[in-house]
């Protein structure tokens, strides 16, 4: 195709959007909703993976003593850990140390100004085993010691996070398929009506020798434009929402240390969402338009 033919096809594609504005708006809105929901699942999955990676770097077992535990009972647990052949290392932490670590992890020191840590935070032991396969047997032995309140195993938390990621991915795929079908139906109707409204013009172009590619390009341009606009709307909405959530859940870096468990930075997630949405939006709508125009314009 010559340059002027490309220019005419692109111009016609943009003009087609204004011929049926309500249908174009419906197509853009449906696509934007689909990509917005997909963005929410992607952002959640990214943060679940981020949290899993952080958890995997921590000691796998944490033993919490009862708040009423006496020093003699704490010493019994420590002696057990020292003599246990399965224990690779352990760290004893006082309520004050746990309190300081808690503030550092969560940030926002002003929220804990009058907090009585002695009443609510216990002694703990962080333990790493030589053989993770002995975790269940080790947990049962620890539970039998006096004043042990809870044995938290990171493997359980990791298993929970794995389930969260599993179901998030599954629900995300189902939602994406359902919304893709809806978007496909709306886009197909958009191309169908556009083709029918231009049927006389298309027939004339065929008689004067216009190629099939020349006739198809305006429809493809229209679909790609709808995909781009819908992707931008979804990306902007999802990015603004994520930035607000991340801002509310993360401490102010000017007044508090950054938490290890903070959400991923907004800039990183926003870039991923923009690239993913634009790629899927344009590709999906372009393919739908190209396939539909062959059927309804018969070219």
Whether 219 and 195 have beta carbons less than 8 Å apart is answered as: yes
The pairs formed by 199-207 with CB atoms below 8 angstroms and a separation of 24 or more are 199/297, 202/297, 202/299, 206/299
pLDDT tens string 64-107: 999 888 999 999 999 999 988 888 889 999 988 888 877 777 66
The class (CATH top level) of 59-153 is alpha beta
What is the pLDDT tens value at each position of the chain, 299 positions in all? Answer: 567 666 766 676 667 667 777 777 888 888 888 889 888 888 888 887 777 666 655 556 889 999 888 999 999 999 999 988 888 889 999 988 888 877 777 666 666 677 777 788 889 998 887 766 677 788 888 888 988 988 877 666 656 666 766 777 777 778 778 877 877 777 777 777 766 766 777 777 777 776 777 777 887 888 888 889 999 999 999 999 998 888 877 655 554 444 555 778 888 899 999 998 999 888 888 888 887 777 665 65
Say if residue 81 is exposed, middle or buried (CB neighbours under 10 Å; 0-12, 13-18, 19+): buried
pLDDT tens string 142-173: 888 988 988 877 666 656 666 766 777 777 77
Per-residue model confidence (pLDDT) at position 38: 85
φ, ψ at 47 (rounded to 5°) = -75, -35
pTM score of the predicted model: 0.60
Whether 198 and 299 have beta carbons less than 8 Å apart is answered as: no
Q: Kindly list the domain boundaries of the chain, sorted by start residue.
A: 3-55+159-296, 59-153
């Amino acid at each position: 195709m010559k340059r002027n033919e490309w220019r005419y096809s692109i111009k016609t594609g943009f003009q087609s959007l204004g011929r049926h504005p309500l249908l174009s708006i419906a197509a853009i809105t449906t696509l934007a909703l689909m990509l917005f929901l997909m963005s929410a699942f992607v952002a959640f999955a990214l943060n679940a993976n981020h949290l899993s990676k952080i958890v995997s770097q921590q000691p796998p077992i944490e033993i919490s003593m009862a708040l009423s535990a006496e020093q003699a009972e704490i010493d019994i647990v420590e002696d057990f850990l020292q003599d246990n052949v399965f224990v690779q290392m352990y760290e004893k932490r006082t309520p004050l140390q746990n309190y300081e670590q808690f503030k550092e992890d969560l940030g926002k020191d002003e929220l804990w100004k009058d907090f009585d840590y002695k009443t609510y935070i216990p002694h703990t032991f962080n333990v790493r085993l030589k053989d993770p396969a002995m975790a269940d047997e080790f947990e049962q032995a620890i539970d039998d010691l006096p004043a042990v309140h809870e044995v938290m195993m990171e493997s359980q938390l990791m298993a929970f996070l794995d389930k969260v990621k599993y179901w998030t991915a599954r629900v995300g795929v189902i939602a994406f398929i359902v919304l893709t079908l809806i978007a496909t139906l709306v886009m197909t109707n958009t191309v169908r009506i556009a083709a029918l409204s231009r049927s006389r013009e298309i027939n004339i172009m065929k008689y004067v020798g216009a190629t099939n590619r020349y006739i198809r390009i305006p429809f493809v341009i229209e679909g790609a434009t709808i995909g781009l606009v819908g992707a931008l709307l979804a990306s902007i909405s999802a990015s603004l929402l994520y930035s607000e959530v991340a801002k509310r859940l993360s401490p102010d870096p000017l007044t508090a240390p950054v938490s290890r468990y903070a959400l991923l930075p907004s800039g990183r997630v926003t870039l991923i969402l923009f690239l993913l949405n634009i790629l899927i939006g344009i590709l999906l709508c372009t393919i739908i338009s190209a396939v539909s125009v062959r059927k309804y314009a018969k070219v």
